[in-house]
Amino acid sequence: MNSIMYCEITPHSETVDRWNDVTINAGASQSTLQDIKLPEGAGCFTYRSSGDLSSCCSNRFIYWRTNHDVIELVEISLDFTLRGNHLRLRFQNTPILRGVSIHENHDQVVLLVATVSAIHKLVFPHPRRLERDCGFPVKKKEVAGPSVFFDTTGATLRSRSCYFVLNHVSLGIPLPHTSCSWLDVEGNATFVLANSAGSVLMVVMSDKHGVEITTTELMKTGSIFRLFNGLVPAVMRNNRTEVALSIVCHQDVNNVLVFSLFSDLQIRIWSHRRQECLLVDSVLNFDSEKNLIAGNFTAHQCHLRKSLSGSNHNFYLGIYIPVPHQKMFYVFQPLTSPDKCKLKLKSTLRQTQHDLVDFCISNTHIWTLWLSFENQPIVFSADIESALKTEPDIYWVPVDLQPQVCRTIDYGASTPQEAYLKEIFKVGRFLPSTISKAISIYQTAKNSSFISNVSMKVDDLRSRVIEAVESEILIKTGNLDDAENEYCEIAAECWDRFFSYCIQYHEVGMKPLGMSVDPCTGCVILIKKNFYSLLCPCDSLELMTSPNFRSFFFVSLLDEE
């Protein structure tokens, strides 16, 4: 058995998250956009030198979550504590499209965000600049350093040079539903936007001499038709049935390739440098087993992903297509040259159960995140070359995820307070923010006030928990001289209720939203609603005690026989 087993590790957090909230109003009309519903999303950016232990970017990354018109950004360093690393942006009344991206540009970290009515280019200082300006000692790991979001202010992000409003509504053009974006070497931001009319538009935003916008439409075949007067007028658009469901881009040394999966399962590849469509092909042409059925799919069904490889030349495209009774993955290797491009099918994988949340691709593996029928997260990985085996149980390797919190507390010889506090503050059990929210809702029932987003250390949080629960116990017991067993029953009831609040917030916060892999270190990052976790190779003891390992090992033995 050559496959490596992985297990989930949740980093320990010692303080309640403190968010810097900024609202950006790009002039959108709430009456027009308030009914638009887009799914939650998540993503991750890793610095180019994340694998260099001598760099200030070592083991450092930024992950984000999007929900309607809000994006939450968190910068993480596994080497030292970052200050001011939580930033929450609200793009007022303008839902955020999939395709958020972050880039390094000299001494800047650039965030590109497309909403249904505007494009945004937001600039933050690079860690190298912070190290130089602040004199932060990288080698001194016990010292807390500033995050790239540390000094972020609303005035900076609301600058007119940071965004451009798209005039879709005034021209009668359908609003976009998906996007991708990149930053070129000159600092120009390019956004590719797809709408329900079948149009795929490229908008280039340059801010060297004020905000300058150039818009083009990516045609199905042939050259790109360049427009200089805003977006494509409705009278010039064709009625197309094929809609771009998912878009990704790949930056090479001298070119950018745009890949799009359409609702009829066609794949189109455009060259930014050549200004033309290089390839039109169909996934159906690679479906030798005839698993797929031609038809119109939706953006919520099919997904296109690109491997985050450190190489500019060798990368993979992954396509997910659900069909009756199974879910199909097709992994392609694009073969590019200056004049043409073609797709080489590397593997076909299938899964028969669960609902896909997200997937990502490294230069060797495909990682998939699912929800089971019981609404529990499940992660599988597969070697891209392993599709030569035909049984899904063979090439899918399960990841050992952290179990659910047990709702039953065994007191033993302890008091209810001792037993519950031990479980609540067990390392890795609950986030401080989860406990803080539980205190807030617990005291709401008593008409008490508690601000759950105030920065607070674990020891202070522990004291507030004891104070909240003991106050309720005192109210319920009053000044009566109750028997000891009656007092213990009331105390156990109060502590159990607080513990149940912690579990409820924990389960909501652990909802999986996405995953990503660092191309430099190979670290896999699982992004959740309130936190993140890492998928790490198991050691020998973890392998032998994991139920996933035992079942996988048994299946592998059967395969060898």
Q: What would the pLDDT profile of 68-101 be if each residue is shown by its tens digit? A: 999 999 999 998 889 999 999 999 889 999 999 9
423-434 pLDDT, tens digit per residue, is 999 888 899 989
Lowest-pLDDT range, 143-152, 359-368, 497-506? Answer: 143-152
Domain boundary among 139, 155, 173: 173
Q: Which of 357, 373, 401 is the endpoint of a domain?
A: 401
243 lies in the same domain as 379 = yes
6 domain residue, yes or no: no
> Residue 411 pLDDT > 50, yes or no?
yes
pLDDT beyond 90 at 403? no
| pLDDT-wise least confident of 47-61, 186-200, 304-318 | 304-318
Confidence of residue 52 (pLDDT cuts 50, 70, 90): confident
Q: Which amino acid, one-letter code, is at 270? A: W
Q: Could you tell me if 373 and 323 lie in one domain? A: yes
- pLDDT band for 237, please (50, 70, 90 cuts): very low
Domain identity same for 35 and 111: yes
Residue 484 inside a domain? The answer is: yes
Q: Is 196 within a domain?
A: no
CB 537 within 8 A of CB 5: yes
User: Has residue 210 been placed in a domain?
Assistant: no
Task: State the total domains in the chain.
Answer: 3
What pLDDT does 173 receive? 72
Considering the domain architecture, whether residues 36 and 159 belong to the same structural domain is answered as yes
Evaluate whether residue 1 is within a structural domain.
no
pLDDT score of 553:
47
- The helix (H) or strand (E) run that includes residue 515 is strand 512-517
Do 448 and 358 fall within a single domain?
Answer: no
Residues 384 and 411 both lie in one domain: no
Q: Pick the range with the lowest mean pLDDT from 18-32, 96-110, 148-162, 407-421.
A: 18-32
Note the pLDDT of residue 560: 47
Instruction: Name which residue leads in pLDDT, 554 or 483.
Output: 483
Residues 431 and 373 in one domain: no
Cα 416 to Cα 418: distance, rounded to the nearest angstrom? 6
Domain hosting residue 491, numbered range: 403-560
One domain, residues 480 and 536:
yes
Residues 252 and 395 in one domain: yes
Segment 372-387 shows an average pLDDT of 87
Model confidence at 51: pLDDT above 70:
yes
pLDDT recorded at residue 558: 43
**Mean pLDDT (whole number) for 445-470:** 74
pLDDT tops 50 at residue 441: yes
Instruction: Note whether residue 27 is domain-resident.
Output: yes
Q: What is the pLDDT of residue 226?
A: 46
Q: Does residue 293 surpass a pLDDT of 80?
A: no
Strand, coil or helix: 189: strand
Q: Would you tell me how many other CB atoms lie within 10 Å of the CB of residue 353?
A: 12
pLDDT over threshold 50, residue 555: no
pLDDT tens column, 180-223: 999 998 889 999 999 888 889 999 998 777 778 888 888 766 65
Which residues, at least 6 apart from 22, have a Cβ–Cβ distance to it below 8 Å? 87, 88, 89, 90, 152, 153, 154, 157, 158
Biggest distance spanned by C-alpha atoms of the chain = 90
Q: Are 479 and 323 in contact (CB under 8 A)?
A: no
φ, ψ dihedrals at 292, nearest 5°: -90, 155
CA distance 188 to 186: 6
User: How large is the average pLDDT for residues 137-147?
Assistant: 67
Average pLDDT over residues 391-410: 82
Residue 35 has pLDDT above 90, yes or no: no
For residues 559 and 391, what is the distance between their CA atoms, to the nearest angstrom?
9
Residue 382 lies in a domain: yes
259/168 same-domain check: no
* Percent of residues, the chain, with pLDDT higher than 90: 41
The mean pLDDT of the chain is 83
Would residue 184 count as lying in a domain? no
**Shared domain check, 263 and 362:** yes
Q: Which of 401, 435, 456 is the last residue of a domain?
A: 401
pLDDT of residue 511: 92
| Domain shared by 337 and 468, yes or no | no
Q: How far apart are the first and last CA of the chain?
A: 13
CA–CA gap between residue 17 and residue 21 (Å, rounded) = 12
Closest CA to 504 of 407, 378, 428, 419: 407
131 DSSP β-pair partners: none
Q: What is the pLDDT of residue 158?
A: 78
